[in-house]
């Protein structure tokens, strides 16, 4: 490691919090009193020092570090900063960037700061605090406005890790060679300085305790694994860059899959997960107390937390208050009682038995789906258009345009998203195109039975084939707007 100068060491001892004094490798980039060593690229009045903090408040601008520490040139490093965002704020911390007068940084990476900012009618920002912007995104707000939180960025060679309040959110390894895409062509791990963003006049963000620990330039990555770049990798990267919520909303901790394994896979692939618990008769969770315990076990984890209602009885087992505590709820119509009073699970062949009249059976399935969409308080309808093995070969004939339209109209009327399921490769492109035309939203989901979560291959394929955009993709509704809070349980 390059030795720390006497001046840098003395400066660090003067402004570092007591808990960090003595850790001489950490060097302050902000003295707590002035903007010495920092230079604004656009509006200089957008940044000022207030109560020992850098306040970003004004017209769009970027404040670059141009000081003497390492001559403002960092390759491998750790960076810490305490941040507080006001409601609706949007900001970021750039690294490996370069001062560019009068404009947006043309190179480098941004660590996103956005807890509650939504954008406007033309563009709704999906990426939340802790995202490696456009590369590895976080779609759930894990920090709160008006409260200080810490962002911690570690760069080692071609690896970036981002932690929020100590929780690892991003672990990105750059491919060799790097994948360059459109406006993001400058997002290549190299070296450079840091910058703070003032996004717009309505965005107020504060920074303090901005500390850097330079690391040796020849420090290797913590892993030897480099991603394999294929078409799925490229499409997922394009979707992350294009404001798609790249989320697998239908992941179960079953078949030996642990939460830590799921989080590691999420970070590796750049796909955020929604972890769902099965709730219903004969399933792991059957009442409010068990549902609340699952919620407590997932508190603070960087995932969405979902309730999967099982069977048609689930709505009577849980209070609307408990259901509303989940980020979203979903179900399917794969468990129901047929017209003769027989209860069956469609994925179990022995329970389905023989189907002498395929048309009548499919019409019954459609009616059960309509019952779910019209009467159950769900955000997503999953495993859509599923047919049991006995009739699955006739899927295209049985799922007529008229039957598809009945389901689509009910989903649109009740504001329910349709899952694009990776395991069953459902629904068909014809269904998706018709649903898109009707304005129905879609959610990507796997419905895994074990550790194999895939890479949303079918969803990626359907995005391309059906012309889906980021506006077509579901995001969980805020509290107060969830279906269970707007519709009575039935």
**CATH code for the domain of 245:** 3.20.20.140
Domain-embedded: residue 223: no
How much is the average pLDDT of 374-385? 97
Whether residue 22 is found in the same domain as residue 132: yes
Which residue has 């009577």 as its token pair?
A: 316
pLDDT band at 489 (very low <50, low <70, confident <90, very high): low
Q: Please determine, for residue 84, whether its predicted confidence score (pLDDT) is greater than 80.
A: yes
Whether residue 344 is found in the same domain as residue 302: yes
Mean of the per-residue pLDDT values of the chain: 92
Q: How many domains does the chain have?
A: 2
Which residue has 């550790």 as its token pair?
A: 451
Single out the residue in 214, 240, 260 at which a domain terminates. Answer: 214
Whether residue 210 is found in the same domain as residue 236: no
**pLDDT for residue 183:** 66
Q: What token pair was written down for 148?
A: 């200080």
Rounded distance between C-alpha atoms, residue 1 and residue 75, angstroms: 12
CA 221 to chain centre: 25
Whether residue 205 is found in the same domain as residue 264: no
How much is the average pLDDT of 217-235? 94
Q: Please determine, for residue 121, whether its predicted confidence score (pLDDT) is greater than 70.
A: no
**pLDDT for residue 182:** 67
Domain-embedded: residue 222: no
Q: What token pair was written down for 480?
A: 């107060």
Q: Please determine, for residue 378, whether its predicted confidence score (pLDDT) is greater than 50.
A: yes
Domain-embedded: residue 219: no
pLDDT band at 16 (very low <50, low <70, confident <90, very high): very low
Domain-embedded: residue 376: yes
How much is the average pLDDT of 50-60? 95
CATH of the domain at 21: 2.60.120.560
pTM of the model: 0.92
**pLDDT for residue 486:** 86
Largest CA distance in the chain: 87
Given a contact cutoff of 8 angstroms between Cβ atoms, the answer to whether 272 and 295 are in contact is no
Single out the residue in 169, 187, 214 at which a domain terminates. Answer: 214
**pLDDT for residue 2:** 36
Q: Please determine, for residue 130, whether its predicted confidence score (pLDDT) is greater than 60.
A: yes
pLDDT band at 467 (very low <50, low <70, confident <90, very high): very high
**pLDDT for residue 490:** 54
CA 196 to chain centre: 23
Q: Whole-angstrom distance between the N-terminal and C-terminal Cα of the chain?
A: 66
User: Cα angle vertex 25, ends 24, 30, to 5°?
Assistant: 85
Whether residue 90 is found in the same domain as residue 170: yes
**pLDDT for residue 7:** 42
Which residues on adjacent β-strands are paired with residue 336?
Answer: 344
**Closest to 323 in 3D by CA, of 283, 303, 294, 281:** 294
Whether residue 351 is found in the same domain as residue 422: yes
pLDDT band at 19 (very low <50, low <70, confident <90, very high): very low
User: Cα angle vertex 172, ends 23, 168, to 5°?
Assistant: 50
The sign of the dihedral angle between the CA atoms of 237, 242, 243, 248 is negative
Peptide linkage before 82 cis (omega within 30 of 0): no
pLDDT band at 42 (very low <50, low <70, confident <90, very high): confident
How much is the average pLDDT of 219-230? 93
Query: DSSP class of residue 405?
Result: H
Rounded distance between C-alpha atoms, residue 126 and residue 113, angstroms: 11
Whether residue 188 is found in the same domain as residue 283: no
Rounded distance between C-alpha atoms, residue 384 and residue 69, angstroms: 57
Whether residue 42 is found in the same domain as residue 156: yes
Whether residue 200 is found in the same domain as residue 318: no
Domain-embedded: residue 417: yes
Residues found in the chain: 490
How much is the average pLDDT of 422-438? 98
Contacts of residue 350, Cβ cutoff 8 Å, sequence gap at least 6: none
State how far the alpha carbon of 152 is from the alpha carbons of 54, 77, 250, 308, in Å: 17, 10, 29, 34
Q: Please determine, for residue 90, whether its predicted confidence score (pLDDT) is greater than 70.
A: yes
Alpha-carbon dihedral 177, 179, 185, 188, rounded to 10 degrees:
-50
- Residue ranges making up the domain that contains 420: 231-486
Peptide linkage before 221 cis (omega within 30 of 0): no
DSSP 3-state of 369: helix
Domain-embedded: residue 92: yes
Domain-embedded: residue 40: yes
C-beta neighbour count of 244 within 10 angstroms: 24
Domain-embedded: residue 356: yes
> What is the phi/psi pair of residue 394, to 5°?
-100, 20
Whether residue 256 is found in the same domain as residue 334: yes
Whether residue 275 is found in the same domain as residue 194: no
Whether residue 307 is found in the same domain as residue 171: no
DSSP symbols for 414-440: TT-EEEEETTTTBS-HHHHHHHHHHT-
Query: DSSP alpha helices (H): ranges in 274-344?
Result: 288-297, 314-317, 320-325
Q: Please determine, for residue 8, whether its predicted confidence score (pLDDT) is greater than 70.
A: no
**Closest to 235 in 3D by CA, of 179, 170, 174, 183:** 179
Burial of 371 (0-12, 13-18, 19+ CB in 10 A): middle
Rounded distance between C-alpha atoms, residue 247 and residue 75, angstroms: 31
């Amino acid at each position: 490691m390059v030795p720390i100068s006497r001046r840098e060491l003395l400066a660090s001892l003067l402004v570092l919090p007591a808990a960090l004094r003595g850790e001489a490798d950490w060097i302050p980039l902000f003295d707590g009193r002035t903007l010495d060593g920092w230079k604004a690229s656009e509006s200089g009045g957008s940044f000022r020092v207030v109560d020992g903090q850098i306040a970003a408040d004004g017209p769009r601008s970027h404040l670059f570090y141009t000081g003497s520490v390492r001559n403002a040139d960092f390759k491998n490093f750790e960076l810490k900063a305490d941040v507080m965002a006001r409601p609706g704020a949007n900001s970021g911390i750039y690294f490996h960037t370069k001062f560019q007068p009068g404009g947006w940084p043309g190179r480098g990476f941004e660590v996103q700061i956005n807890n509650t900012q939504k954008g406007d009618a033309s563009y709704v920002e999906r990426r939340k605090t802790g995202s490696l912007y456009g590369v590895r995104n976080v779609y759930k707000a894990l920090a709160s406005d008006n409260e200080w939180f810490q962002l911690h960025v570690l760069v080692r060679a071609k690896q970036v890790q981002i932690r929020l309040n100590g929780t690892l959110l991003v672990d990105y390894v750059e491919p060799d060679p790097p994948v360059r895409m459109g406006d993001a062509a400058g997002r290549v791990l190299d070296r450079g300085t840091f910058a703070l963003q003032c996004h717009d006049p309505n965005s107020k963000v504060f920074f303090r305790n901005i500390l850097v620990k330079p690391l040796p330039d020849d420090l290797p990555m913590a892993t030897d694994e480099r991603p394999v770049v294929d078409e799925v990798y490229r499409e997922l990267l394009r979707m992350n860059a294009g404001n798609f919520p790249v989320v697998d909303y239908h992941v179960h901790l079953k078949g030996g899959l642990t939460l830590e394994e799921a989080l590691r896979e999420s970070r590796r692939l750049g796909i955020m997960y929604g972890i769902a618990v099965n709730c219903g008769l004969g399933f792991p969770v059957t009442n409010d107390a068990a549902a609340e315990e699952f919620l407590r076990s997932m508190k603070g984890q960087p995932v969405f937390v979902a309730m999967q209602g099982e069977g048609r009885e689930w709505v009577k087992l849980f209070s609307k208050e408990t259901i509303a505590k989940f980020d979203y709820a979903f179900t399917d119509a794969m468990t129901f009682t047929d017209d003769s009073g027989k209860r069956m699970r469609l994925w179990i062949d022995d329970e389905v038995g023989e189907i002498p009249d395929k048309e009548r059976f499919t019409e019954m399935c459609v009616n059960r789906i309509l019952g779910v969409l019209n009467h159950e308080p769900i955000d997503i309808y999953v495993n859509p258009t599923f047919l049991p093995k006995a009739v699955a070969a006739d899927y295209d004939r049985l799922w007529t345009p008229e039957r598809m339209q009945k389901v689509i109209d009910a989903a649109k009327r009740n504001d329910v998203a349709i899952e694009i399921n990776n395991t069953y490769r459902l629904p068909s492109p014809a269904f998706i195109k018709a649903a898109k035309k009707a304005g129905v939203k879609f959610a990507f989901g796997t419905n895994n039975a074990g550790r194999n979560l895939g890479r949303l291959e079918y969803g990626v394929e359907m995005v391309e084939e059906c012309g889906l955009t980021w506006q077509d993709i579901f995001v969980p509704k805020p509290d107060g707007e969830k279906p269970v809070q707007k519709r009575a349980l039935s």
